[in-house]
A = this chain, B = another copy of it.
């Protein structure tokens, strides 16, 4: 809670600022009744700041967060940055005013300036990052094993006989996308006796230009025979371009996508995916945040949870 809010609350409840502060820290000096009074005056709301909801990862993560928030009788409000650094900054500024008690966040792919995040953190509003973290803020994180998953995806395509695997990226800013890429590169390197080629394509958040890039990739002479798509929204343009160019999946092109798409099983062909533990990650991040909200002395900064992803093989690869 921000200092302004503590001061306001002290006035409203006719208590000293130090009593409010002790009550919020769950101090034994303060009576249960006073603690209750103080807690009732909090916003009882947490914010979830994420890039978008059209990605199944985030809609599942929200469900995990809400499962915990409901138990604690907290409201969850969702803010969308739409991968836009300026909008994200404006949201963080709004949150700095003390509108919520704590923040769960997945960073936009275009954020380069971390001052707005540092300002929010400096206000003593607890923040827990999930999935897309910001290394510059010393707080708790919940991630999945992105490096190992990238490695596993490439190994699987190599096992299926691919000789030219391309990796589709969407951002060179995001730690998760880069870790997946490093895993992919390591697997290619490890398999050098197979004479593997590696190639990273930097797609964008704009669907039209992404589809154009994928088209150029797939019509060239040295077109890949395997694709690893780093995020869910890249699956649709790859399938569409293959259909337009009459490229058969998996016969001519094998594909794995980092995705929690509920329609993966009914696509043509069904899509092999790296499924992230989205619900679990949201739930775990919320559990950590509520520990910090319950006890203000709870140390967030050295808490880093990693929950593994899972390769689910379907017909699009092998």
The chain A residues found within 8 Å of chain B, CB to CB, are 45, 47, 52-54, 56, 58-60, 62-63, 66, 70, 75-80, 82, 87, 90-91, 94, 99, 235-236, 239-240, 243, 261-263, 265-270
Contacts and interface: CB of A to CB of B under 8 A. Distances in A.
A62 B268 CA distance: 29
Contacts of A266: 236, 239-240, 243, 267-268
Nearest to A242: B266
A62 B263 CA distance: 22
B53 A82 contact: no
Nearest to A54: B59
Nearest to A243: B266
Contacts of A239: 266
A81 to B, nearest CB: 10
Nearest to A45: B94
Contact of A87 (B70, B240, B262): B70
A75 B94 contact: yes
Contact of A240 (B47, B52, B56, B265): B265
A78 B75 contact: no
A297 to B, nearest CB: 28
A143 to B, nearest CB: 22
Contacts of A54: 56, 59-60, 262
A116 to B, nearest CB: 14
A70 B235 CA distance: 29
A11 to B, nearest CB: 12
Given A45-B94, A263-B261, A76 B87 contact: no
